Amino acid sequence: MAFAIVPYIFLLAIFLVLPPSTIAQSYKNVSLGSTLTTSDVTKFWPSPSGEFAFGFRKIGNGSGFLLAIWFNKLKEKTIVWSANRNKIAPDGSKIELSIDGRLVLTDPNGQEIWSRYTASAGLAYGTMLDTGNFVLATSSSAILWQSFDEPTDTILPGQVLNKGTRLISSFSDTNVSSGRFELLLQDDGNMVLNKLNYPIDAANDAYWATLTAGSGYQVIFNQSGFIFVQAENGTVVNLVSSSNKINSTTRQLYQRAVLEYDGVFRHYAYPKKSSSGRLMEWSTLYHIPDNICLVIAQAKRGVACGFNSICRTGTDQRPRCDCPHGYIFNDPNDKLGSCRRNFPEQDCKDESRDVEAFTIQEMLNTNWFFGDYESYQDVTEDWCKQNCLSDCYCVVAVYGANKVCWKKIKSYEEDMTNENEMILAEWACDCYRRKELHLLAGDDEEAIEGIEGFEKLLMVAIWCIQESPALRPNMKNVMLMLEGSVEVSVPPDPFFCSV
């Protein structure tokens, strides 16, 4: 009897050591009426080589599912595209390529989460290609829709970005939602990296560009592993990245290029065979910008970390964001966000304020760009410290090797990230232009009675929200204007003034 049991256990053991996803699925076109569900993630739509797959991936700590495309032969199952990064699908969701020509993702209640229509265009089948592109096609294989046209944060060899197409980074390394950065091929042909005014999706704050306005036409990631901006006549006008250095092409390497949560665009490779002598993992071939901590966007602010946060590049070339001593993250769950003061501010109104209550915290090899309101040449470090400490407007002083002391304060522009503020500012601007100050004052009687003073206040405010930082008055001038010791001139229209 005992002998009969052995082969049975043996057989069982073989099945147990095989992870479910390595069970080969034979390739076939996805026919109309096909479905996949989150309840069985071992089923997916593979490409002919099996290198890519389309289906559901579980994300986070079981918080839900992403309808995605991933590298299916890698143990990491690296995701290269997703449909619903901002609307995670709950367990029990389903994707269907319907008979009436729709690719539709629905939750367990039948509510639509995401869909693409190819209605009445003669959809015949869907197919996961070996390039990593999922396409919907007619019976004569004309493409009706393809995932390559709607990238998330990644491009693959063979992929082309046309004007107006963009990549948006993830929110963080663990959160796949749309984040803070975009890579955009602008309509003028310039390829730019922008910091988005999170959470509003407004850009125009480029921190890197190919400077190909007027000549750029497409961004191409070709099969030899080159990423470049090409002119309409086919000339390469800017070579963004190349895998040349490592003497390998897509035949030996899996490749992808991602705009990551930290604002860096990285070109990665992974050997296809372990005999290549390279580590079996994703390694960076190339990245832009060179050092994200030193990058300043057009709006004159650091890119990688939030307001008041200090950026340091780790040995892995990734930025780390830390709050200075005495400051804490505004949102404890968002380590890339802004830091706020965690102690009472020095009070400029109170003459008898106690300077002794504050100390200077030294930070070596740290700089604060911009926001200077005063600087002194040829002074000692000690003098600089004392001067800042006894000045209630001084939050940070930077002391440099040339014996220069720069005093810095929080600048207004950093606060302009709130959508409501923007809308309020726009409305304020409109009211001011149309002389409808009473509208703005609402039923604030004090404001209505002193409408002239109120108009001055508003003019100062409009000066403060000028698009060009150079036009904005510094805090000291603002104080002087408000006190009345400096005349307030008529401000130019800020960019959002819709006159």
Ligand X SMILES: *[C@@H]1O[C@H](CO)[C@@H](O)[C@H](O)[C@H]1NC(C)=O
Q: Which residues bind ligand X (CB under 6 A)?
A: 27-29, 60-61, 63, 124-125, 139, 141, 171, 174-175, 177, 215, 222-224, 226, 228, 231, 233, 235-237, 247
Closest distance to ligand X from the beta carbon of 124 (Å) = 6
139 vs 315 by CB, closer to ligand X: 139
Residue 59 sits at the vertex; the CA angle it makes with 56 and 65, to the nearest 5 degrees, is 40
Closest distance to ligand X from the beta carbon of 186 (Å) = 15
233 vs 420 by CB, closer to ligand X: 233
User: Which two tokens mark 448?
Assistant: 């209505």
Phi and psi for 475 in degrees, rounded to 5? -60, -35
140 vs 352 by CB, closer to ligand X: 140
Buried b / exposed e over 234-248, threshold 16 CB at 10 Å, is eeebbebbbbeeeeb
Cα separation of 205 and 383, whole Å? 37
Closest distance to ligand X from the beta carbon of 224 (Å) = 4
Closest distance to ligand X from the beta carbon of 395 (Å) = 27
Phi and psi for 97 in degrees, rounded to 5? -95, 100
Closest distance to ligand X from the beta carbon of 162 (Å) = 17
Q: How far is CA 22 from CA 17, 19, 37, 281, 401, in A?
A: 11, 6, 18, 19, 60
169 vs 194 by CB, closer to ligand X: 169
173 vs 421 by CB, closer to ligand X: 173
253 vs 465 by CB, closer to ligand X: 253
Closest distance to ligand X from the beta carbon of 52 (Å) = 15
208 vs 226 by CB, closer to ligand X: 226
Closest distance to ligand X from the beta carbon of 241 (Å) = 11
Closest distance to ligand X from the beta carbon of 239 (Å) = 7
122 vs 453 by CB, closer to ligand X: 122
Residue type for position 408 = K
Of 179, 160, 108, the closest CA to residue 337 belongs to 179
What are the DSSP calls for 302-339, one per residue? BSSS-TTPEEEE-TTS-EEEEPPTTEEESSTT-TTS-E
Of 158, 157, 166, 210, the closest CA to residue 184 belongs to 166
Cα separation of 125 and 144, whole Å? 10
Contact 74, 147 (CB under 8 A): no
For tokens 């400096």, the residue is 486
Helix 475-483 with 451-464: angle, nearest 10 deg: 170
211 vs 231 by CB, closer to ligand X: 231
**How many residues would you count in the chain?**
499
Cα separation of 144 and 146, whole Å? 7
Residues 6+ away with beta carbon under 8 Å from 345: none
Contact 124, 139 (CB under 8 A): yes
Cα separation of 254 and 85, whole Å? 23
Closest distance to ligand X from the beta carbon of 63 (Å) = 5
Closest distance to ligand X from the beta carbon of 282 (Å) = 19
Contact 80, 71 (CB under 8 A): yes
60 vs 326 by CB, closer to ligand X: 60
Beta partners for residue 271, in sequence order: 253
Q: What is the SS3 assignment for 117?
A: strand
233 vs 315 by CB, closer to ligand X: 233
Closest distance to ligand X from the beta carbon of 13 (Å) = 31
